[in-house]
Structure 1
Amino acid sequence: MSNTLVLDVDGTLVDTNYHHAVAWFRAFRRFDLTVPTWKLHRAIGMGGDKLVAAVAGQRVEDELGDGIRKAWEAAFEPMLAEVRPLEGAHRLVSAALEQDFAVVLASSGKRHHVDHYVKLIDAQGVVSTSSDDVEESKPAPDLIEVALSRVDSGGRAVVIGDSVWDCDAARRAGLPVVCLRTGGFGEAELREHGASAVYEELDQLRADLTDLPMA
């Protein structure tokens, strides 16, 4: 049975977290709402279905949530061409496949964004999931559970992410998690949310592939 890597995408394989924070800031401004960018950054990693209420309250979600999400999509789309893979993303995926890991991408992003990122990191053929595949995004465990259902996950698995939301989703799915600092979260808070190891960059994690915690 194969060991499985469940890989987050935004902030883990591609450098998008700050683009997303700016896009959300502009989306809220379309409705004359100002949410500080630092607060938005702290919420990146949870899906858009959760983010509006998390940063602006349930009343804003109830009254304006769908409109803000549409405005976010419109604000983020022009930035898509600026997105670059994080250093080592392709090498990590390639090394995992060469070492007979099952690899699946579990992203809270939109499907066409995920498809674009898969091309950027040259991971064609790797199974991926997106927010379009589930009713609830991270920190709910749904994305991880759907991801595992799409690969031969009869062996052991570990989640790799960059945010506290990845950690929370992994815990709820009953899986260990290791994290990267590439999303902008601190090592201490990632460990507090359950990360058993925290890496500065993907190549460091790649060097430890065979020693990752699995469950």
Structure 2
Amino acid sequence: MTTQAHPLLGWSPEAVVLDCDGTLMDSERHWQDARTRTFREFGLTAPPGFADRAKGVHYVDCGRLMAEETHKPDLADDLARSLLEHFLSLVADDPVTMPGAVDFVRLLAGRLPLAVASNCPSQVVEESLGRAGLLRYFAHVVVPTEPSGSSTTAPEGVRPKPWPDVYMMAARLCGTEPERALAVEDSATGIESARRAGLKVLGVGPRPDEDASRADLWVTALHSPVLLDWVRRQVPRRTDTPKG
């Protein structure tokens, strides 16, 4: 594919906003393990196909979904708390970046303002990106407002994906309108959020049959030669490059 083969590859964004889980960090497997452990802890069985329905879903909503689909509505809050505890334990032991993520972020950081828009608590995002050496490249980390009593902090009134809030706020914190920013996402939930916010969307990872069409362009990994060539050709360098 050449830069003329797809309209997105002829466009220069003013900022890039990236998802964290499954896009920058290989943590979706930790969420899956955390869901498995949580179901087991409460003596419940995951319904068929639950992992697909839960991908990219905020942990509070995931706890609610777990409760609804196992017909235990009173357990929603307890399931959500357990899910987050298991996930935090898993990701602290094994923070791994997705293929190509480090090089892609470093390449972009010399050219554009960068932000992260995630459904995870800020503690999770900042610790995992920090341990991977990536946090310093992002001017802003935007996450949903946490439930009352949470130890993490986030701006008030920011709803989780698939609501558009995290992407709208991240683009504007980077100094541009959402329509001039690019979102990088791996899940249907995140793509829907970015679309509703008005960003163009780059999908990354295994191409799903039904959701790929919602992205403007889909690549299998962030080290795709087409993607890296687009950055080098289409996105000019800036002078305030983060020190690395």
Residues 17-38 of structure 1 show CA distances to partners (whole Å, capped at 9, x for unaligned) of 1110110121133222211474
Shift, 1:8, TM fit: 0.3
Distance (whole Å) between structure 2 residues aligned to residue 152 and residue 128 of structure 1? 14
Aligned partner letter, 2:160: S
Residues 169-193 of structure 1 show CA distances to partners (whole Å, capped at 9, x for unaligned) of 1121122211111xxx53432323x
Change in Cα spacing, 1:150 to 1:58, as seen in structure 2 (3 Å) is farther
Distance (whole Å) between structure 2 residues aligned to residue 148 and residue 78 of structure 1? 31
Distance (whole Å) between structure 2 residues aligned to residue 36 and residue 198 of structure 1? 29
Moved over 6 A (4+): none
Larger radius of gyration between Structure 1 and Structure 2: 2
Shift, 1:2, TM fit: 6.7
Distance (whole Å) between structure 2 residues aligned to residue 35 and residue 179 of structure 1? 28
Task: Please say if 1:203 is aligned against 2:223.
Answer: yes
Task: Please say if 1:97 is aligned against 2:97.
Answer: no
Task: Please say if 1:191 is aligned against 2:212.
Answer: yes
Q: Which residue in 1 is equivalent to 2:118? A: 107
Distance (whole Å) between structure 2 residues aligned to residue 61 and residue 124 of structure 1? 42
Distance (whole Å) between structure 2 residues aligned to residue 2 and residue 15 of structure 1? 26
Distance (whole Å) between structure 1 residues aligned to residue 94 and residue 77 of structure 2? 25
Higher helix share: 1
Equivalent in 172, 177, 181 of residue 149 of structure 1: 172
User: Does structure 2 conserve the Cα–Cα contact (< 8 Å) formed by 1:7 and 1:160?
Assistant: yes
Distance (whole Å) between structure 2 residues aligned to residue 65 and residue 71 of structure 1? 10
Shift, 1:9, TM fit: 0.5
Equivalent in 12, 16, 28 of residue 17 of structure 1: 28
Distance (whole Å) between structure 2 residues aligned to residue 121 and residue 188 of structure 1? 33
Change in Cα spacing, 1:176 to 1:41, as seen in structure 2 (3 Å) is same
Q: Report matched runs for 1:1-215 at 5 Å.
A: 3-36=14-47, 38-57=49-68, 62-80=73-91, 81-99=93-111, 101-119=112-130, 120-126=132-138, 127-131=140-144, 132=146, 133=154, 134-154=157-177, 156-181=180-205, 186-192=207-213, 194-204=214-224, 205-209=227-231
Distance (whole Å) between structure 2 residues aligned to residue 70 and residue 173 of structure 1? 29
Structure 1 stretches of 5 or more lacking a match? none
Structure 2 stretches of 5 or more lacking a match? 1-11, 147-153, 236-244
Shift, 1:125, TM fit: 4.9
Identity of aligned residues (%): 24
Distance (whole Å) between structure 1 residues aligned to residue 159 and residue 65 of structure 2? 14
Residue aligned with 1:124, SS: helix
Aligned length: 207
Change in Cα spacing, 1:97 to 1:125, as seen in structure 2 (3 Å) is closer
TM-score, length of structure 1 as denominator length: 0.84
CA-based RMSD: 2.6
Aligned partner letter, 1:91: D
